[in-house]
Amino acid sequence: MLQVKRPEEELTIVSEESSASDGSESSSRGLPQNAWKGDKQRFEFAPDADFMYTWQVSGTGPVNVTASDATRASGPLSVLLMLQRSIAKQGLLASRVENARKVGHLELHLVGVNPDLEPMMPWDQFLVGPLSPEFRRLVNAFNLPETPFAGMNVSLLYNCFNNDCKWHKKPAQFPMGYSEAHVFGPYHDVVSSVPDFVFMSNPGFSHYPQSWGKTLQRLRSNGAPVIATGYGDNTYLDSFGHGEKMKGTAMDTIYEFDSAVSPTLHGDGQTLQLPPAELVGAGLDSFGLKHKVDVLKDSVGRSIKVHHCPLQLEDLNLCGDLGGNAFVADRIGYSAQVSEKNPFAYCDFPKVCMCSSGSIIHLLEPKPVHHDVQTPDALLYRDVVQRCAGCLSDKDSVVSCMQTKLDGAFQPGHWLQRHYFPYVRQGYTDGMLKEVFKSCSD
Protein backbone atom coordinates (compact mmCIF):
# COMPACT_ATOMS: atom_id res chain seq x y z
CA MET A 1 0.00 0.00 0.00
CA LEU A 2 1.10 3.57 -0.66
CA GLN A 3 -0.24 6.83 0.71
CA VAL A 4 -0.10 9.42 -2.08
CA LYS A 5 -0.20 13.18 -1.55
CA ARG A 6 -1.15 15.11 -4.70
CA PRO A 7 0.20 18.67 -5.09
CA GLU A 8 -2.20 21.47 -5.91
CA GLU A 9 -0.71 21.72 -9.39
CA GLU A 10 0.53 18.61 -11.13
CA LEU A 11 4.09 19.07 -12.28
CA THR A 12 5.33 18.14 -15.74
CA ILE A 13 8.49 16.14 -15.18
CA VAL A 14 10.66 14.18 -17.58
CA SER A 15 11.29 10.72 -16.22
CA GLU A 16 14.86 9.99 -15.24
CA GLU A 17 14.51 6.36 -16.35
CA SER A 18 16.96 5.34 -19.02
CA SER A 19 16.71 2.49 -21.47
CA ALA A 20 17.31 -0.83 -19.80
CA SER A 21 20.89 -1.20 -20.95
CA ASP A 22 22.04 -3.69 -18.37
CA GLY A 23 21.60 -6.58 -20.76
CA SER A 24 18.11 -7.47 -19.60
CA GLU A 25 16.64 -6.91 -23.09
CA SER A 26 18.84 -9.58 -24.60
CA SER A 27 18.73 -12.06 -21.75
CA SER A 28 16.86 -15.32 -22.08
CA ARG A 29 13.69 -15.78 -20.12
CA GLY A 30 14.37 -16.33 -16.44
CA LEU A 31 15.97 -14.51 -13.57
CA PRO A 32 18.96 -12.28 -14.37
CA GLN A 33 22.33 -13.76 -13.53
CA ASN A 34 23.72 -12.86 -10.12
CA ALA A 35 20.32 -11.74 -8.80
CA TRP A 36 20.85 -13.94 -5.73
CA LYS A 37 22.96 -12.28 -3.05
CA GLY A 38 24.22 -15.05 -0.82
CA ASP A 39 25.62 -12.72 1.83
CA LYS A 40 22.18 -11.15 2.26
CA GLN A 41 20.14 -14.29 1.53
CA ARG A 42 17.88 -12.41 -0.85
CA PHE A 43 17.29 -11.57 -4.51
CA GLU A 44 18.15 -8.11 -5.80
CA PHE A 45 16.97 -6.82 -9.18
CA ALA A 46 18.60 -3.37 -9.32
CA PRO A 47 21.71 -1.92 -7.62
CA ASP A 48 19.96 0.96 -5.80
CA ALA A 49 16.29 -0.03 -5.82
CA ASP A 50 13.93 -2.60 -4.43
CA PHE A 51 10.48 -3.69 -5.61
CA MET A 52 7.14 -4.73 -4.16
CA TYR A 53 4.27 -6.64 -5.80
CA THR A 54 0.63 -7.22 -5.00
CA TRP A 55 -0.83 -10.74 -4.91
CA GLN A 56 -4.61 -11.14 -5.00
CA VAL A 57 -6.23 -13.29 -2.31
CA SER A 58 -9.55 -14.71 -3.43
CA GLY A 59 -12.38 -13.28 -1.37
CA THR A 60 -10.31 -11.07 0.93
CA GLY A 61 -8.27 -8.64 -1.20
CA PRO A 62 -4.65 -7.86 -2.01
CA VAL A 63 -1.48 -8.86 -0.16
CA ASN A 64 1.76 -6.96 -0.73
CA VAL A 65 5.04 -8.86 -0.92
CA THR A 66 8.61 -7.77 -1.61
CA ALA A 67 10.24 -8.91 -4.85
CA SER A 68 12.74 -11.15 -3.07
CA ASP A 69 10.15 -12.81 -0.84
CA ALA A 70 7.81 -13.34 -3.80
CA THR A 71 10.55 -15.05 -5.80
CA ARG A 72 11.63 -17.24 -2.89
CA ALA A 73 8.12 -18.16 -1.76
CA SER A 74 6.46 -18.75 -5.13
CA GLY A 75 7.49 -22.41 -5.49
CA PRO A 76 6.68 -23.61 -1.96
CA LEU A 77 3.39 -21.69 -1.90
CA SER A 78 2.42 -23.24 -5.25
CA VAL A 79 3.05 -26.71 -3.80
CA LEU A 80 0.94 -25.95 -0.72
CA LEU A 81 -1.87 -24.63 -2.93
CA MET A 82 -1.98 -27.76 -5.08
CA LEU A 83 -1.77 -30.00 -2.01
CA GLN A 84 -4.77 -28.16 -0.58
CA ARG A 85 -6.68 -28.57 -3.86
CA SER A 86 -5.87 -32.28 -4.09
CA ILE A 87 -6.96 -32.92 -0.50
CA ALA A 88 -10.29 -31.24 -1.26
CA LYS A 89 -10.74 -33.45 -4.35
CA GLN A 90 -9.29 -36.58 -2.72
CA GLY A 91 -6.87 -36.72 -5.62
CA LEU A 92 -3.74 -38.74 -6.31
CA LEU A 93 -1.38 -36.14 -4.82
CA ALA A 94 -3.30 -36.23 -1.52
CA SER A 95 -3.22 -40.04 -1.58
CA ARG A 96 0.54 -40.17 -2.17
CA VAL A 97 1.13 -37.68 0.63
CA GLU A 98 -1.08 -39.69 3.00
CA ASN A 99 0.90 -42.85 2.20
CA ALA A 100 4.11 -40.92 2.91
CA ARG A 101 2.73 -39.90 6.29
CA LYS A 102 2.10 -43.53 7.19
CA VAL A 103 5.75 -44.42 6.64
CA GLY A 104 7.01 -41.13 8.07
CA HIS A 105 9.03 -40.14 4.99
CA LEU A 106 8.29 -37.87 2.02
CA GLU A 107 10.42 -37.65 -1.12
CA LEU A 108 9.97 -34.57 -3.32
CA HIS A 109 11.83 -34.07 -6.58
CA LEU A 110 12.37 -30.63 -8.14
CA VAL A 111 13.02 -31.34 -11.81
CA GLY A 112 14.78 -29.18 -14.39
CA VAL A 113 15.73 -26.54 -11.85
CA ASN A 114 17.50 -23.26 -12.39
CA PRO A 115 20.43 -23.48 -9.93
CA ASP A 116 19.98 -19.76 -9.21
CA LEU A 117 16.29 -20.10 -8.33
CA GLU A 118 14.70 -23.19 -6.76
CA PRO A 119 17.61 -23.99 -4.41
CA MET A 120 17.28 -20.45 -3.02
CA MET A 121 13.69 -21.12 -2.02
CA PRO A 122 13.31 -21.99 1.69
CA TRP A 123 11.65 -25.37 1.15
CA ASP A 124 12.54 -26.58 4.62
CA GLN A 125 10.66 -23.69 6.23
CA PHE A 126 7.47 -24.24 4.25
CA LEU A 127 7.48 -28.05 4.41
CA VAL A 128 8.63 -28.82 7.96
CA GLY A 129 9.16 -25.45 9.67
CA PRO A 130 9.74 -23.31 11.50
CA LEU A 131 8.42 -20.52 9.27
CA SER A 132 9.79 -17.00 9.41
CA PRO A 133 7.21 -14.34 10.38
CA GLU A 134 7.10 -12.99 6.81
CA PHE A 135 6.51 -16.38 5.20
CA ARG A 136 3.95 -17.29 7.86
CA ARG A 137 2.13 -14.06 6.96
CA LEU A 138 1.86 -15.23 3.36
CA VAL A 139 0.77 -18.77 4.25
CA ASN A 140 -1.93 -17.44 6.57
CA ALA A 141 -3.10 -14.79 4.09
CA PHE A 142 -3.92 -17.52 1.57
CA ASN A 143 -5.20 -19.93 4.22
CA LEU A 144 -2.74 -22.64 3.14
CA PRO A 145 -1.49 -25.64 5.15
CA GLU A 146 1.26 -24.53 7.53
CA THR A 147 4.35 -26.79 7.60
CA PRO A 148 2.31 -29.85 6.55
CA PHE A 149 5.23 -32.30 6.91
CA ALA A 150 6.49 -31.23 10.33
CA GLY A 151 7.75 -34.23 12.28
CA MET A 152 8.35 -36.30 9.13
CA ASN A 153 11.58 -37.17 7.37
CA VAL A 154 11.66 -35.16 4.13
CA SER A 155 14.12 -35.74 1.27
CA LEU A 156 14.36 -33.05 -1.40
CA LEU A 157 16.14 -33.74 -4.69
CA TYR A 158 17.19 -30.93 -7.03
CA ASN A 159 17.72 -32.02 -10.63
CA CYS A 160 19.45 -29.68 -13.08
CA PHE A 161 19.39 -30.89 -16.70
CA ASN A 162 22.81 -29.40 -17.46
CA ASN A 163 25.99 -31.09 -16.33
CA ASP A 164 27.74 -27.80 -15.51
CA CYS A 165 25.24 -26.41 -13.01
CA LYS A 166 26.81 -24.51 -10.13
CA TRP A 167 24.90 -24.70 -6.87
CA HIS A 168 24.78 -22.02 -4.21
CA LYS A 169 25.39 -23.40 -0.76
CA LYS A 170 22.87 -22.61 1.95
CA PRO A 171 24.54 -21.42 5.15
CA ALA A 172 21.81 -22.52 7.57
CA GLN A 173 21.54 -25.98 9.06
CA PHE A 174 18.45 -27.94 8.10
CA PRO A 175 15.91 -29.20 10.64
CA MET A 176 16.40 -32.73 11.89
CA GLY A 177 15.07 -35.28 9.40
CA TYR A 178 15.19 -32.87 6.44
CA SER A 179 17.80 -33.28 3.69
CA GLU A 180 18.60 -31.95 0.21
CA ALA A 181 20.53 -33.57 -2.63
CA HIS A 182 21.64 -32.37 -6.08
CA VAL A 183 21.74 -34.38 -9.33
CA PHE A 184 23.02 -33.29 -12.74
CA GLY A 185 21.82 -34.38 -16.19
CA PRO A 186 18.50 -35.25 -17.85
CA TYR A 187 16.19 -36.50 -15.13
CA HIS A 188 15.07 -39.56 -17.09
CA ASP A 189 18.72 -40.64 -17.49
CA VAL A 190 20.18 -39.95 -14.05
CA VAL A 191 17.43 -40.43 -11.42
CA SER A 192 16.25 -43.90 -10.39
CA SER A 193 14.48 -43.23 -7.09
CA VAL A 194 10.70 -42.81 -7.06
CA PRO A 195 9.30 -39.52 -5.71
CA ASP A 196 6.00 -39.09 -3.92
CA PHE A 197 5.42 -36.11 -6.19
CA VAL A 198 7.33 -33.67 -8.40
CA PHE A 199 7.51 -29.89 -8.72
CA MET A 200 8.65 -28.12 -11.89
CA SER A 201 9.06 -24.34 -12.02
CA ASN A 202 8.32 -22.87 -15.48
CA PRO A 203 9.40 -26.00 -17.42
CA GLY A 204 7.91 -24.92 -20.76
CA PHE A 205 7.07 -28.42 -22.03
CA SER A 206 6.14 -27.16 -25.51
CA HIS A 207 9.56 -25.55 -26.03
CA TYR A 208 11.44 -28.83 -25.52
CA PRO A 209 8.71 -31.44 -26.09
CA GLN A 210 11.02 -34.37 -26.77
CA SER A 211 13.24 -33.93 -23.73
CA TRP A 212 10.39 -33.11 -21.34
CA GLY A 213 8.36 -35.92 -22.91
CA LYS A 214 11.00 -38.46 -21.90
CA THR A 215 11.03 -37.12 -18.35
CA LEU A 216 7.23 -37.23 -18.15
CA GLN A 217 7.34 -40.80 -19.48
CA ARG A 218 9.63 -41.83 -16.62
CA LEU A 219 7.48 -40.06 -14.03
CA ARG A 220 4.28 -41.56 -15.41
CA SER A 221 5.76 -45.05 -15.18
CA ASN A 222 6.33 -44.34 -11.48
CA GLY A 223 2.82 -42.99 -11.02
CA ALA A 224 4.12 -39.63 -9.79
CA PRO A 225 1.83 -36.58 -9.80
CA VAL A 226 3.43 -33.40 -11.12
CA ILE A 227 2.94 -29.77 -10.10
CA ALA A 228 4.12 -27.46 -12.89
CA THR A 229 4.03 -23.67 -13.06
CA GLY A 230 4.58 -21.55 -16.13
CA TYR A 231 4.35 -18.27 -17.96
CA GLY A 232 0.82 -17.10 -18.70
CA ASP A 233 1.87 -14.80 -21.53
CA ASN A 234 2.89 -15.71 -25.07
CA THR A 235 6.09 -17.65 -24.44
CA TYR A 236 7.22 -17.44 -28.08
CA LEU A 237 7.87 -13.72 -27.82
CA ASP A 238 11.09 -12.55 -26.24
CA SER A 239 12.77 -9.26 -25.45
CA PHE A 240 14.38 -9.11 -28.90
CA GLY A 241 10.93 -8.38 -30.31
CA HIS A 242 10.61 -11.56 -32.39
CA GLY A 243 7.09 -11.72 -33.71
CA GLU A 244 4.51 -8.96 -34.00
CA LYS A 245 2.35 -9.53 -30.93
CA MET A 246 2.53 -7.62 -27.68
CA LYS A 247 3.50 -9.26 -24.41
CA GLY A 248 1.71 -8.72 -21.12
CA THR A 249 2.40 -9.31 -17.46
CA ALA A 250 0.65 -11.04 -14.59
CA MET A 251 0.66 -7.94 -12.36
CA ASP A 252 -0.60 -4.52 -13.36
CA THR A 253 1.20 -2.55 -10.61
CA ILE A 254 4.86 -2.80 -9.58
CA TYR A 255 6.25 -0.56 -6.83
CA GLU A 256 9.90 0.49 -7.20
CA PHE A 257 11.54 2.33 -4.33
CA ASP A 258 14.91 3.49 -3.08
CA SER A 259 16.79 0.61 -1.45
CA ALA A 260 17.05 2.74 1.70
CA VAL A 261 13.25 2.52 2.08
CA SER A 262 11.93 -0.47 4.03
CA PRO A 263 8.26 -1.45 3.74
CA THR A 264 6.67 -1.85 7.17
CA LEU A 265 3.79 -3.92 8.41
CA HIS A 266 0.56 -2.04 8.92
CA GLY A 267 -1.23 -2.23 12.24
CA ASP A 268 -3.28 -5.23 11.05
CA GLY A 269 -0.09 -7.28 10.95
CA GLN A 270 -0.82 -8.33 7.36
CA THR A 271 -0.36 -5.30 5.09
CA LEU A 272 3.07 -4.12 3.92
CA GLN A 273 3.17 -0.36 3.49
CA LEU A 274 5.57 2.16 1.97
CA PRO A 275 6.03 5.59 3.59
CA PRO A 276 3.69 8.47 2.59
CA ALA A 277 4.88 10.17 -0.58
CA GLU A 278 3.98 13.12 -2.77
CA LEU A 279 3.17 12.64 -6.43
CA VAL A 280 5.50 14.70 -8.63
CA GLY A 281 4.81 13.15 -12.02
CA ALA A 282 1.89 10.99 -13.19
CA GLY A 283 1.65 8.72 -16.23
CA LEU A 284 5.15 9.45 -17.47
CA ASP A 285 6.62 7.77 -20.51
CA SER A 286 9.88 6.22 -19.41
CA PHE A 287 12.62 6.04 -21.97
CA GLY A 288 13.07 2.47 -23.21
CA LEU A 289 10.01 1.17 -21.33
CA LYS A 290 6.63 0.41 -22.87
CA HIS A 291 4.46 1.37 -19.93
CA LYS A 292 3.51 4.38 -17.81
CA VAL A 293 5.23 5.32 -14.56
CA ASP A 294 4.13 7.53 -11.66
CA VAL A 295 6.99 9.23 -9.79
CA LEU A 296 6.71 10.14 -6.09
CA LYS A 297 9.03 11.49 -3.37
CA ASP A 298 8.78 10.76 0.32
CA SER A 299 9.38 13.35 3.07
CA VAL A 300 13.17 13.01 2.84
CA GLY A 301 13.30 13.03 -0.96
CA ARG A 302 13.63 9.30 -1.59
CA SER A 303 12.18 8.07 -4.86
CA ILE A 304 9.13 5.80 -5.15
CA LYS A 305 7.87 4.81 -8.59
CA VAL A 306 4.69 3.01 -9.56
CA HIS A 307 4.96 1.02 -12.79
CA HIS A 308 1.62 0.45 -14.56
CA CYS A 309 2.16 -2.75 -16.55
CA PRO A 310 0.00 -4.12 -19.40
CA LEU A 311 -1.86 -7.20 -18.19
CA GLN A 312 -1.37 -10.44 -20.11
CA LEU A 313 -4.25 -12.01 -21.95
CA GLU A 314 -5.31 -15.48 -20.90
CA ASP A 315 -3.68 -17.71 -23.52
CA LEU A 316 -5.35 -21.12 -23.73
CA ASN A 317 -3.59 -22.23 -26.93
CA LEU A 318 -0.01 -23.45 -27.20
CA CYS A 319 1.43 -19.92 -27.31
CA GLY A 320 1.39 -19.81 -23.50
CA ASP A 321 2.33 -22.42 -20.92
CA LEU A 322 -1.27 -22.88 -19.80
CA GLY A 323 -2.02 -24.60 -23.09
CA GLY A 324 1.51 -25.73 -23.96
CA ASN A 325 2.24 -27.65 -20.76
CA ALA A 326 -1.19 -29.29 -20.78
CA PHE A 327 -0.89 -30.33 -24.44
CA VAL A 328 2.47 -32.07 -24.13
CA ALA A 329 1.52 -33.67 -20.80
CA ASP A 330 -1.71 -34.99 -22.31
CA ARG A 331 0.14 -36.57 -25.24
CA ILE A 332 2.50 -38.34 -22.83
CA GLY A 333 -0.32 -39.69 -20.68
CA TYR A 334 -0.99 -37.08 -18.00
CA SER A 335 -4.30 -35.36 -17.33
CA ALA A 336 -4.58 -31.86 -15.87
CA GLN A 337 -6.58 -32.04 -12.65
CA VAL A 338 -5.96 -28.33 -12.07
CA SER A 339 -5.19 -25.85 -14.85
CA GLU A 340 -5.51 -22.21 -13.83
CA LYS A 341 -3.92 -18.88 -12.99
CA ASN A 342 -1.50 -19.05 -10.09
CA PRO A 343 -1.66 -16.23 -7.51
CA PHE A 344 2.07 -16.59 -6.74
CA ALA A 345 3.56 -14.95 -9.84
CA TYR A 346 6.86 -13.09 -9.67
CA CYS A 347 9.03 -10.94 -11.93
CA ASP A 348 12.19 -11.84 -13.79
CA PHE A 349 12.84 -8.15 -14.51
CA PRO A 350 10.39 -5.99 -12.54
CA LYS A 351 11.70 -2.68 -13.88
CA VAL A 352 10.52 -3.55 -17.40
CA CYS A 353 7.32 -5.38 -16.36
CA MET A 354 8.61 -8.88 -17.19
CA CYS A 355 6.40 -10.39 -14.51
CA SER A 356 4.81 -13.60 -15.77
CA SER A 357 6.95 -16.25 -14.06
CA GLY A 358 4.87 -18.79 -12.18
CA SER A 359 1.64 -17.09 -13.23
CA ILE A 360 -0.13 -20.31 -14.29
CA ILE A 361 -0.20 -23.70 -12.60
CA HIS A 362 -1.09 -27.30 -13.39
CA LEU A 363 -1.63 -30.33 -11.21
CA LEU A 364 -0.96 -33.30 -13.49
CA GLU A 365 -1.85 -36.91 -12.72
CA PRO A 366 -1.05 -40.02 -14.78
CA LYS A 367 -3.88 -41.34 -16.90
CA PRO A 368 -4.86 -45.02 -16.63
CA VAL A 369 -2.27 -47.36 -18.14
CA HIS A 370 -4.57 -48.40 -20.99
CA HIS A 371 -4.62 -44.84 -22.35
CA ASP A 372 -2.86 -44.37 -25.69
CA VAL A 373 0.27 -42.24 -25.31
CA GLN A 374 2.55 -40.59 -27.83
CA THR A 375 6.26 -41.28 -28.08
CA PRO A 376 8.31 -38.11 -27.43
CA ASP A 377 9.91 -38.03 -30.88
CA ALA A 378 9.89 -35.83 -33.98
CA LEU A 379 6.15 -36.35 -34.40
CA LEU A 380 5.46 -34.76 -31.02
CA TYR A 381 7.74 -31.89 -32.02
CA ARG A 382 5.74 -31.58 -35.27
CA ASP A 383 2.41 -31.54 -33.44
CA VAL A 384 3.63 -28.68 -31.24
CA VAL A 385 5.15 -26.39 -33.89
CA GLN A 386 2.26 -26.83 -36.32
CA ARG A 387 -0.11 -25.55 -33.65
CA CYS A 388 2.06 -22.52 -32.93
CA ALA A 389 2.10 -20.80 -36.33
CA GLY A 390 -0.19 -18.08 -34.98
CA CYS A 391 1.94 -17.34 -31.93
CA LEU A 392 4.26 -14.86 -33.63
CA SER A 393 1.92 -12.92 -35.90
CA ASP A 394 -1.66 -11.74 -36.30
CA LYS A 395 -1.29 -11.33 -40.07
CA ASP A 396 -3.21 -13.99 -42.00
CA SER A 397 -0.66 -14.00 -44.81
CA VAL A 398 2.24 -14.65 -42.42
CA VAL A 399 0.39 -17.34 -40.48
CA SER A 400 -0.69 -19.09 -43.71
CA CYS A 401 2.89 -19.01 -45.01
CA MET A 402 4.18 -20.43 -41.73
CA GLN A 403 1.60 -23.22 -41.75
CA THR A 404 2.58 -24.19 -45.30
CA LYS A 405 6.29 -24.32 -44.47
CA LEU A 406 5.74 -26.16 -41.18
CA ASP A 407 3.68 -28.77 -43.02
CA GLY A 408 6.37 -29.20 -45.69
CA ALA A 409 9.11 -29.51 -43.08
CA PHE A 410 7.68 -32.85 -41.95
CA GLN A 411 6.92 -34.38 -45.37
CA PRO A 412 9.45 -37.10 -46.32
CA GLY A 413 11.74 -35.96 -49.14
CA HIS A 414 10.50 -32.35 -49.10
CA TRP A 415 13.35 -29.84 -49.39
CA LEU A 416 12.03 -28.02 -46.32
CA GLN A 417 12.53 -31.16 -44.27
CA ARG A 418 16.26 -31.11 -44.97
CA HIS A 419 16.42 -27.37 -44.32
CA TYR A 420 14.71 -27.47 -40.92
CA PHE A 421 15.83 -30.90 -39.69
CA PRO A 422 18.62 -29.46 -37.48
CA TYR A 423 15.97 -27.69 -35.38
CA VAL A 424 14.04 -30.93 -34.92
CA ARG A 425 17.22 -32.71 -33.92
CA GLN A 426 17.95 -30.00 -31.33
CA GLY A 427 14.43 -30.44 -29.98
CA TYR A 428 13.92 -26.69 -29.42
CA THR A 429 10.68 -25.46 -31.01
CA ASP A 430 11.46 -21.73 -30.65
CA GLY A 431 14.36 -21.91 -33.09
CA MET A 432 12.32 -23.42 -35.89
CA LEU A 433 9.30 -21.18 -35.35
CA LYS A 434 11.36 -17.98 -35.37
CA GLU A 435 13.30 -19.06 -38.46
CA VAL A 436 10.06 -19.84 -40.30
CA PHE A 437 8.51 -16.57 -39.13
CA LYS A 438 11.49 -14.62 -40.43
CA SER A 439 11.33 -16.29 -43.84
CA CYS A 440 7.58 -15.57 -44.10
CA SER A 441 7.97 -11.93 -43.02
CA ASP A 442 10.71 -10.91 -45.48
Structure confidence by residue, pLDDT tens digits, 279-294: 999 998 876 677 899 9
Half-sphere exposure of 257 (CA within 13 A, CB side): 24
Looking at per-residue pLDDT, the higher value among 111 and 232 belongs to 111
Contact 107, 193 (CB under 8 A): yes
Q: Give the model's pLDDT for residue 361.
A: 97
How many Cβ atoms are within 10 Å of 365's Cβ, its own excluded? Answer: 22
Q: Give the model's pLDDT for residue 2.
A: 60
- Residue 288's φ and ψ, nearest 5 degrees, are 85, -5
Average pLDDT over residues 17-40: 53
Average pLDDT over residues 119-141: 96
Contact 264, 279 (CB under 8 A): no
Computed from CA positions of residues 76, 81, 82, 83, in that sequence, does the dihedral angle turn out positive or negative?
Answer: positive
Contact 304, 31 (CB under 8 A): no
Q: How confident is the model at residue 392 (pLDDT cuts 50, 70, 90)?
A: confident
pLDDT digits 0-9 by tens, 216-270: 999 999 999 999 999 988 777 653 344 555 567 888 899 999 998 989 887 666 7
Taking the C-alpha atoms of 241, 242, 248 and 254 in order, what is their torsion angle to the nearest 10 degrees?
A: -40
The CA distance from 8 to 142, in Å, is 40
Domain spans, the chain: 1-376, 378-441
